[in-house]
Structure 1
Amino acid sequence: MKRREFIKAAGLGAAGAAIAAPAIAQSSPEIKWRLTSSFPKSLDTIYGASEVFAKAVAEATDNKFQIQVFAAGEIVPGLQALDAASNGTVEMCHTAAYYYVGKDPTFAFGTAVPFGLNSRMQTSWLQVGGGAELFNEFLKGYNVIGFAAGNTGCQMGGWFRKELKEPSDLSGLKMRIGGFAGRVLTRLGLVPQQVAAGDIYPSLEKGTIDAAEWVGPYDDEKLGFQKVAKYYYYPGFWEGGPTLHNMVNLAKWEQLPASYKSIIRTASSLANETMQARYDAYNPPALKRLVAGGTQLRPFPASIMDASLKAANEVYAETSASNAAFKKVYDSMVAFRGDQYTWWQVAEYSFDSFMIRSRTRS
């Protein structure tokens, strides 16, 4: 190419780049959102998942997409997070879907249901087994779209002032318990209470409630439950693998460029993975400290487990008969769970069982 032609071509290239610049800028706009969490800042695991998420979004966009995280109560109370995202008070929230079973019991499947899925099954069902598609089909009716953004792993059964020996011991017991589990345990006479995290300790201390469940040793120790209740029961059979969700206002979601939508999905997955990794790392030493401090660790008696399973199946059948959306999601989860346990009993469970037995002999 001759020198004059080269210069001419280069000039056109520069002009072309100048023309293209606005299009590039439009694909990466500067956006500031607010996220309201259902959790207090003191819980670095569950509240912290939102900080992990927001940091990842900012880093992936050179700080062009910034999401400010607000703790429960700073904008709206923790149990109103979904409403705030739905009505546009904030662009998104981080919450447990089962807090909203009062609106529709189908919300429970976004987090956990009694005798449902363990944490890996829950993640697999949502990501690969069609669970997320079914859940988001349901969420459209509430003007939000959801992305899994945290998992606690199997939770503890909670703190009780008195020892439990049989199902009748639950009769009349006032217990802070979230989600669909309260409806199930009502069949055994338990009186469920919806209490936000920050209000559980004073409620136990004053005797307003007789028992409470939250998550597990690490969070429970931070919240001080061991000071006001003696017996610590396991497992939390109503929360085998509870998932938290980022719920985004649908209109705001649709306004995002495709690249930002992809980043929200990816950053939510990072939050999901990080939360469970932290709980898995922090729970064992916290449990040791609690037991060393006098906490009485107890398994739920088999009679209570059996009675609870019977009650759960009755409630599932009744709810499915009257709620088509619930039945659709429930049937999907149950079919997935059946196939999963066919596999788990062969490899995962047998390996874990052997290793646990070997550890006690070593």
Structure 2
Amino acid sequence: MKKQVSRRKFLAAAAAGTAGAGIAAPAIAQTKPTIDWRVVSSFPKSLDTIFGASETFAKALMEMSDGNFRVRVFAPTELVPGLSAADAVTNGSVEIAHTASYYYWGKDPTFAIPTAVPFGLNYRMQNAWMYQGGGIDLMNEFYARYKIVAFPGGNTGTQMGGWYRREINKPEDWRGLKMRIGGLAGAVIARLGGVPQQIAGGDIYPSLEKGTIDAAEWVGPYDDEKLGFSKVAKYYYYPGWWEGQAMLHFFINLDKWNELPKNYQAMIRAASSIANMSMMTRYDLQNPAALRRLAIGGAEPRPFSEAVLDACFKASNEVFAEICAKNADFKKVYDATLAIRGEDYLWFQLAEHTYDTYMMIQQRKGLV
């Protein structure tokens, strides 16, 4: 009889344990809820590398969540205009935007720094600042005022200096030049006497073709070839002194972000990092061949003269000084990037620069 009682107690305990496991299961399952979000891109689908970073991001999230975290990607105008992507995130119309922070520098010049500022960081320095130098956290303190949390989502590397219908041989040639140019660089162009225009990527070609603008910068050979700029402006200057790199971001609505389980937040960080790396490596692979095709097709790559670059550098520093004097947020972030720039160029000139210079000499000799 005692054995039977003991057995009954054992079976009851086992049943209780099974019931307990049944109760706990939904709590565990909640760490992988089914979520359907939208990401609006500021870039046309025709630019498969830059638009493709959003698709890379969405694919990575799907795979990491076993299909539970779905993010649908929309091109500009499908939900909102490309240059309104940040506003759509702030007001909660969409959950995510894949965009360039400097498109919104008119709200506050601080928006420009996470993408690029004239004579700022290069690609490696930008990544070092963002991922190891506190850049992500520093910017998210600022973005929080706009109900945004952001993570790096791609980079173009150093850009070309754009397409021109007339030559830029001396600083005075900027005067009166109507140029499509993004971000804070527009303020520098204005100081040099030019007339900056902020135009979405898909609208640049018709503006050049009609003569509404005299020049336009976009990214580099691969994308510029796709957009056909060489057909309407033959002078292709370099380097893009206003974009030693250009980092894109995934802007996420802050309320939506805070509602996510921690593991889904980790997935977003990981997926954005994958997109960030993927975009840069694709450009490095595709730009050389595109540059050759453009040159064969009649484009004329030309370097900016040192006199032109010196004038631009001087004007940039004047603009920065004026903004820093009036905007404490800008100064705080800008000073953080200057610390990275100063230290890394000290290092790069010893190792990277000397190695690359030697190898380029070998290439000119036909040995590479």
TM-score w.r.t. length of structure 2: 0.96
2:46 maps to 1:27: no
Cα offset for 1:282?
0.5
Say which SS state the counterpart of residue 149 (structure 1) adopts: strand
1:225 aligned to which of 226, 229, 251: 229
Alignment of 1:1-362 (within 5 A): 11-361=15-365, 362=367
Greater radius of gyration (CA): 2
Q: Which amino acid aligns with 1:121?
A: M
| C-alpha distance in 1 between matches for 2:62 and 2:71 | 8
- How large is the Cα RMSD of the aligned pairs? 1.4
| C-alpha distance in 2 between matches for 1:9 and 1:279 | 62
Structure 1 residues not aligned, in runs of 5+: none
* 1:161-198, Cα deviation, whole Å (9 max, x unpaired): 11111011110000000000010121111110010011
Cα offset for 1:14?
3.1
Cα offset for 1:219?
0.3
| C-alpha distance in 2 between matches for 1:287 and 1:11 | 71
| C-alpha distance in 2 between matches for 1:353 and 1:10 | 73
* 1:53-90, Cα deviation, whole Å (9 max, x unpaired): 00110111111111111011111110000000010000
Say which SS state the counterpart of residue 192 (structure 1) adopts: strand
Say which SS state the counterpart of residue 48 (structure 2) adopts: coil
Identity, % of aligned pairs? 61
Say which SS state the counterpart of residue 307 (structure 2) adopts: helix
| C-alpha distance in 1 between matches for 2:146 and 2:126 | 22
Cα offset for 1:125?
0.5
| C-alpha distance in 1 between matches for 2:11 and 2:59 | 44
* 1:23-43, Cα deviation, whole Å (9 max, x unpaired): 011111111111111011111
| C-alpha distance in 2 between matches for 1:97 and 1:126 | 14
| C-alpha distance in 2 between matches for 1:282 and 1:89 | 35
* 1:192-225, Cα deviation, whole Å (9 max, x unpaired): 0010011000000000000000000000000000
